[in-house]
Amino acid sequence: MRPDAQGGSPFRVRAYPVIGWWEALTCDRMPNENATMSTESQSYQNPLVKRYASAEMLRIFSDDNRYRTWRRLWLVLAESEAELGLNISEAQLDELRAHLDDIDYDRVAEHESELRHDVMAHIKTFGEACPSAAGIIHLGATSCYVTDNADCILNRQALELVRSKLVRLLGALERFALEYKELPALAYTHFQPAQLTSVGKRAAIWAQDLLLDLKEVQFRLDGLRFRGVKGTTGTQASFLRLFDGDIDKVEALDEMVTKKMDFEARFRVTGQTYTRKQDEATLHALSGLAQSAHKISNDVRLLQRLGEMEEPFETRQVGSSAMPYKRNPMRMERVSSLAKFVICEAQNGAWVHSTQWFERTLDDSANRRLSIPQSFLGADAILILMVNVVEGLVVYPEVIQRILKQEFDLMVSENLMMLAVKAGGDRQELHESIRDHAMEVVQARRGGDDDADLLLRLAEDPLFESVRENISEASDPADYIGCSAAQVERFFAEEVRPAIELCGAGGDDSDTSSWDVRV
């Protein structure tokens, strides 16, 4: 097992069969030798890895990507030191370049079992592959030169992947919203019938939250800083000594390495680590995305219960082991489940930053190894599900119309009140009359009187004499969705499209074949 960065003794937990916790602790009983059981099935498997996240996101946080990044950081450091006059030959640099990707992980494990230090284990393994350059690897640096800077690089890669999937999701919502921008639907406040909206307008509201998330992700990407070349406690003292007190060369080294790793900005002051506030901000952005996704999943699940729309349901999919007729909103339920996890993980960033001591303590290491990758994996899984649902969302206009018809007379009353006021009526008096009639109609319907009709009552009310003609003409729900269609068009044209273009991605035609929605 790998200890935490910068030291610490690992411990091993023996894998026992499930035979009762006390037996497992007090005896050496092992599985039946004749039983067939895979090693994987005998140990815990992280569902984010095994079931939910994409291959792309898993690759970003893989050991191989991380440790190859370490080697590139060591190469760039050596190249920059050579350019600034240190005695490092081109032959040594060529040797490092030739061995950036052929990491002997078995050898790393051997060194780590002895040294109890993952960075030193990799330095020694890299040095064995590059014997002439072994003495200049990690020159002047501390472990956080590779660990922290690699984290900055991996987090950037992950944010870029999140951004691309967010753009894809917004593109899917745009197409859906524009298709249904004029389809009237009952709107709800407090989950009670309110006025009308359109199916597309509701989707635009969902998209607006996600647009804010996209802007937040882009803001975090634009502001992401590199740790740079700072030394053991951030003073750059080791590099100042290497360059014989030439502070300008120390500053140049810091800037050169930053630029070579494609960062525009670096932290000008650090302790041993970059401030963990940057991690907190990143996790906060992922939490915001999870919050938006959870809200959307709630709406879709409720609409599925009403029968107005439905997430994709496979031909052979089973909704319930006991009830064959069920079509559970499995995908959106999983979105809300994963969203809760990502939202909670954001607290780790806050706690880690707020409890660091002075220039650094190692109590952040194990937490960050869990909270940062898993937050990204969770966000990635959420976006895969959301794109899958929105691109396959089924709308049932007949059901929407039937629900509207049940409440339409109540919905029309607000417009009639506005017309009656324009004709000289008293707004408060009209409101009170509608309320009294409406309460009686609702109560009558709940008692089984399906013929109770608010419009018929209002037509007989002297207060609404001036709008009786309007009452008889009130039959088309499309007349009561206000500016919904125009709002949808303007929102996507004036806000979503420019934001997507600013992020540098089209978002509509990217390949999603690898975005497997697993069980």
Q: Which of 89, 113, 132, 320 is catalytic?
A: 320
Give the containing element (helix H, strand E) for 505.
none
3-state secondary structure of 74: helix
- What does the buried/exposed string (b/e) look like for 289-304 if buried means 16 or more CB atoms within 10 Å of the residue's CB? bbbbbbebbebbbebb
Contact 259, 230 (CB under 8 A): no
φ, ψ dihedrals at 184, nearest 5°:
-65, 145
Among candidate residues 38, 190, 513, 514, the one labeled active-site is: 190
Query: Which of helix, strand or coil describes residue 338?
Result: helix
Please give, one letter per residue, the 3-state secondary structure of 106-160. Answer: HHHHHHHHHHCCHHHHHHHHHHHHCCCCHHHCCCCCCHHHHHHHHHHHHHHHHHH
Active site residue 513: no
Instruction: Write down how long the chain is.
Output: 519
Asked whether 298 and 172 are in contact (CB, 8 A), the reply is: no
* Structural contact between residues 213 and 288, judged by C-beta atoms closer than 8 angstroms: yes
Structure tokens at 28: 């050496």
> Is 9 among the residues known to form the active site?
no
Question: How many CB atoms are located within 10 Å of the residue 75 CB?
Answer: 20
C-alpha 228/C-alpha 346 separation (Å) is: 25
Residues annotated catalytic, as ranges: 190, 320
